[in-house]
Amino acid sequence: MTTPVQTVEAVPSFPSPLKEFWQSFSANKGAVVALFIFLFILFCALFAGVIAPHSPIEQYRDHMLTPPAWAEGGSTQFLFGTDELGRDILSRLIHGAQVSLMIAFMSVVMSMIPGVVLGLMAAFFQRYLSPVIMRLMDIMLALPSLLLAICIITILGPGLINTMIAIAIGTLPSYVRLTRAAAMAEINKEYVTASRVAGASTLRLMFVTVLPNCMAPLIVNATLGFSSAVLEAAALGFLGLGVQPPTPEWGTMLSAARDYIERAPWVVTMPGVTILISVLAINLMGDGLRDALDPRLKRAA
Amino acid sequence: MFSFILRKLATVIPTFIGITLVAFALIRMIPGDPIEVMVGERRLDPEMHAAAMQRLGLDQPLHVQYFTYLGKLAEGDLGISLVTREPVTKEFLTLFPATVELAICALIFAVLFGLPAGMIAGLKRGSVFDHGVMGAAMTGYSMPIFWWGLILIMFFSVSLGLTPVSGRIAIEYDIPVKTGFLLIDSYLSGEEGAFKSAFMHLILPTIVLGTIPLAVIARMTRSSMLEVLREDYIRTARAKGLAPTRVVVVHALRNALIPVITVIGLQTGALLAGAVLTETIFSWPGIGKWLVDSISRRDYPVVQAGILVSATIFIVVNLVVDILYGVVNPRIRSHK
């Protein structure tokens, strides 16, 4: 199996792994469109300070609950309208992208790294460590991830960092299980034995020899983890357990908007549509990635 | 078969013990002194503090506390709510049927629409219908259901005035509790309009909670159907001249359903997590809303019980699914 993240010198007559990857990825039209949408959201997040027309926390007291520009009574000054405190919704959504993507990225990193290490350890030390690690993961899996996150937030208290930690802990078991399964499939192959006989240390075997060959399912899982992290962060925010106001977070925006459902539907619609489009784009991208990286999974929709 | 069930049970026990440990640790891991956390703003002199510690058994060594906790659990005692001063078990028992009723309706909704949609999409692979179903399923799967609930309320309740906004039944009905399931109770009560009111209250929460399971079931049924249709026995059935509907219904569907059943079981987790959000939006008096309310009220015995109970439900349902799977598919039974 090839690792597409590395740019290897192209061997004549074979397409480079990167090119090969792009060929199978771009065969999925939905995934390509999704990729561009995701890049757009990423761009908004990275340059939020520059492209947002207003400050996300500035309250324009004269313009409370202004409808969006295309609706009656709206103005181009506030394209998506303003919320109950007169804050510009578009600016809050753009800055919210920053918060959401950062939570998602950090929680994926924070669960992937320990997850991979634990999974490799479980695969390499099957007699002693594996039962302990896997039982622990079973306990964590016994709680649906949102409930586990709520449980952790109860202990740590709400907030940006704690949201990341809570989501990261919730997704940890999937990485451990995937890594362990993938590593166990590789561990008895000849190249691993060869490298062991050649005197490679266990650490080297774990991270240099075996790990690169387990990356495909991990990357796919990370993409899915990314989209569910966006959803979960929004859900926690909606319940009032996530990022605290006045930080512009998509879910928190929705929870404040509930009271204005009749008078100002746009306050409810905009954040939700943004969440839906982002999550949908990441999921579609994940589908394309899976088809491109892991041909064996292609059949399972 | 019996030994298979025993083996499955044995794998669940350590998990369950772990969950009790987590629930036990939860209260003790909250930063700060537990008594002060419970009392909140009020001042407390040292004597009362010591007395409270003793009353709650918090002055005992941790392992003694844990075994006391386990002993109480075995008796069905989940502690006393700090806010209402009622036994948590009692509160739980009145709220639990509301969640179960909602979850069952959501699951029925998901299966009722997801299964046929996935099946037809699989049979007509590549058609407009297939693309439509798969697109809709992907959207449903990506749906922030708390927003979906608000949108449905906005459209059906606020704009069209078709469905009620929140609660389980209109306030004028006083239905005697028999089963705890309002649909059944209101029907039994014979009161005019009560059943209709309960039903109307259920529609939107059911759709909201059922959306993600519906999407997952549709996707799974489709891919399972595609897989089965490639099998040799389908070709054989077709070759010997069976009617196409018979091939699909008798030969393909029955085999395609096996993985779908597992997926339906696994949706319990999604339903439990979804119940927290759905119940919050619709003010549905179930255990999900109870849990969230208790967190904001810092009612820790309730949070502890809620976590323990949800995890137990999840474990038990998955155990039942595992066993059912063994019943349906004998190969699993002998395997490990």
Eight-class DSSP state of A8: P
The helix (H) or strand (E) run that includes residue B105 is helix B88-123
Contact yes or no for B96/B286 (Cβ under 8 A): yes
Shortest Cα–Cα distance, A190 to chain B (Å): 27
Contact yes or no for B132/B120 (Cβ under 8 A): no
Q: Does A258 touch chain B (CB under 8 A)?
A: yes
Shortest Cα–Cα distance, B73 to chain A (Å): 18
Contact yes or no for A282/A38 (Cβ under 8 A): yes
Q: Domain B88-333 in CATH: superfamily?
A: MetI-like (1.10.3720.10)
CA dist B252 and B259 (Å) reads 13
The phi-psi region of residue B166 (left if phi > 0; otherwise alpha if psi is between -120 and 50; otherwise beta) is: beta
- C-beta atoms of B227 and A138 within 8 A: no
Closest by CA to B106, choosing from B229, B240, B270, B300, is B270
Q: Does A227 touch chain B (CB under 8 A)?
A: yes
Indicate the residue of B222, B300, B310 with minimum beta-carbon distance to A147: B310
CA dist B12 and B106 (Å) reads 27
Contact yes or no for B203/B102 (Cβ under 8 A): no
- C-beta atoms of B144 and A231 within 8 A: yes
The helix (H) or strand (E) run that includes residue B229 is helix B194-229
Closest by CA to B35, choosing from B25, B24, B46, is B46
Q: Does A263 touch chain B (CB under 8 A)?
A: no
CA dist A240 and A233 (Å) reads 11
Domain boundaries, chain B: 88-333
pLDDT digits (tens, 9 = 90+) for A70-108: 777 777 777 787 877 778 888 889 998 999 999 999 999
Q: Is the peptide bond before B61 cis (omega within 30 degrees of 0)?
A: no
Q: Is the pTM of this model over 0.95?
A: no
Q: Which domains does chain A have, with CATH numbers?
A: 28-294 (1.10.3720.10)
Give helix then strand counts, H and E, for chain A: 12, 0
Eight-class DSSP state of B80: B
Token digits for A125? Answer: 């030390």
Q: Does B20 touch chain A (CB under 8 A)?
A: no
pLDDT tens per residue across all 336 residues of chain B = 778 788 878 878 888 888 888 888 877 777 666 666 666 656 667 777 777 777 777 777 778 888 888 888 888 788 777 777 788 888 888 888 889 899 999 999 999 999 999 999 988 888 899 999 999 999 999 999 989 998 998 888 888 888 887 777 777 777 777 777 777 777 777 777 778 888 888 889 999 999 999 999 999 899 888 888 888 888 888 888 888 888 888 888 878 887 787 788 778 777 888 888 999 888 888 888 888 888 777 777 888 888 888 888 888 888 888 787 777 666 666 654
- C-beta atoms of B146 and A235 within 8 A: yes
Token digits for B234? Answer: 């389908």
Q: What are phi and psi of A232, to 5 degrees?
A: -70, -40
- C-beta atoms of A268 and B141 within 8 A: no
Q: Which of residues 277-296 of B touch A (CB under 8 A)?
A: 277, 280-281, 291-292, 295-296
Q: How far apart are the first and last CA of chain B?
A: 12
Shortest Cα–Cα distance, A249 to chain B (Å): 14
Q: Which amino acid is at A93?
A: L
The helix (H) or strand (E) run that includes residue A177 is helix A160-187
Task: Tell me which residue has tokens 């759905």.
Answer: B278
Q: Which amino acid is at A283?
A: N
Contact yes or no for B28/B61 (Cβ under 8 A): no
Q: Does A34 touch chain B (CB under 8 A)?
A: no
- C-beta atoms of B134 and A301 within 8 A: yes
